[in-house]
């Protein structure tokens, strides 16, 4: 590969761009209203209540030292379904809202650059007690699931969009994180994109640790067909697109597998 090309791509990993930006011109400083903390949805759409935080205090009952110490990427899952409590806990652990300041600002269980939280969470539900197979979106404000599409073939379609990583179709649930970049660009302009990816890492790590705590296994996935995955989730691929995934299922004994 050409050295100049590598240098250009490495530039993205650095924060040098911040020094080139005229922050007086970005939308936040031009007093443009912040975008909403959650992607709007049709108020008549079907939604499913999740279990509230106050009702799942015992769902995760291992200590942090153990959760961190035994964390592993796991790609083989039991046929036992995840419970709705476990799923509710994992959603709260990865994107749950702790405090809403106003329509454009909220604090969540994960950190985010400038508290901009540009991510949305889609779920491909395959084996969760009481919930039909298909595609859903987490609504962190209401702590509900928005039904997007019931689809018995969701698992195979998702695995196909993930370059035939067929083990994905045996999961209980797949977390698919998209970004709405403008939420971050509103505050950081061209310095937004690097921190969006840093944010995603925090979310995924909370999912890893949350899974260990509820006897589930998971594996991060960043290799997928971008265009196919966006299409599957009905995202436009410009103002919102998929950036990362976490595949989750009840843990098998000795579920460690050859790591890629």
Ligand X SMILES: Cc1cc2nc3c(=O)[nH]c(=O)nc-3n(C[C@H](O)[C@H](O)[C@H](O)COP(=O)(O)O)c2cc1C
- Distance from C-alpha of 110 to C-alpha of 140, rounded to nearest angstrom: 12
Residue nearest to ligand X (CB): 259
Q: Which is nearer to ligand X, 239 or 256 (CB)?
A: 256
* CB 28 to ligand X: min, Å: 29
In angstroms, the Cα distances linking 97 to 52, 91, 115, 201 are: 12, 10, 11, 18
Handedness of CA 142, 145, 147, 149 (dihedral sign): positive
Read out DSSP for 210-233?
A: HHHHTTEEEEEE--S-HHHHHHHT
Residue numbers 155-194 binding ligand X by CB under 6 A: 165
Give the C-alpha separation, 75 to 255, whole Å: 7
Site for ligand X in 60-99 (CB under 6 A): 72-73, 75
* Size of the residue set binding ligand X (CB under 6 A): 11
| Rounded Cα gap, residues 23 and 89, in angstroms | 38
Mark residues 200-229: x for contact with ligand X by CB under 6 A, - for none.
Answer: -------------------xxxxx------
Closest approach of ligand X to the CB of residue 63, in Å: 20
User: Are the C-beta atoms of residues 242 and 233 closer than 8 Å to each other?
Assistant: yes
CB of 176 to ligand X, least distance (A): 13
Report the residue number, 75 or 108, with the smaller CB distance to ligand X.
75
Contact between 259 and ligand X per CB under 6 A: yes
The site for ligand X (CB under 6 A) is made up of 72-73, 75, 165, 219-223, 259-260
């Amino acid at each position: 590969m050409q050295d100049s090309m590598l240098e250009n791509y490495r530039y993205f990993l650095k924060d040098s761009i911040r020094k080139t930006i005229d922050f007086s011109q970005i939308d936040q400083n031009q007093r443009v209203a912040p975008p909403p903390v959650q992607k709007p949805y049709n108020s008549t759409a079907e939604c499913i209540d999740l279990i509230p935080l106050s009702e799942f205090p015992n769902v995760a009952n291992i200590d942090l030292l153990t959760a961190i110490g035994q964390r592993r990427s796991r790609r083989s899952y039991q046929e036992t379904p995840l419970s709705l409590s476990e799923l509710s806990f994992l959603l709260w652990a990865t994107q749950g809202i702790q405090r809403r300041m106003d329509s454009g600002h909220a604090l969540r269980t994960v950190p985010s650059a400038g508290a901009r939280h540009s991510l949305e969470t889609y779920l491909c539900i395959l084996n969760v007690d009481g919930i039909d197979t298909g595609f859903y979106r987490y609504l962190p404000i209401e702590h509900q699931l928005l039904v997007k599409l019931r689809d018995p073939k969701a698992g195979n379609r998702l695995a196909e969009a993930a370059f035939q990583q067929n083990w994905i179709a045996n999961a209980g649930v797949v977390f698919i994180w998209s970004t709405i970049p403008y939420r971050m660009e509103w505050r950081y302009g061209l310095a937004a994109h690097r921190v969006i990816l840093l944010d995603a890492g925090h979310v995924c790590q909370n999912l890893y640790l949350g899974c260990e705590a509820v006897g589930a296994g998971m594996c991060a996935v960043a290799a997928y067909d971008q265009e196919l995955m966006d299409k599957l989730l009905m995202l436009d691929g410009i103002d919102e697109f998929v950036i990362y995934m976490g595949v989750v299922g009840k843990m098998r004994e000795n579920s460690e597998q050859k790591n890629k």
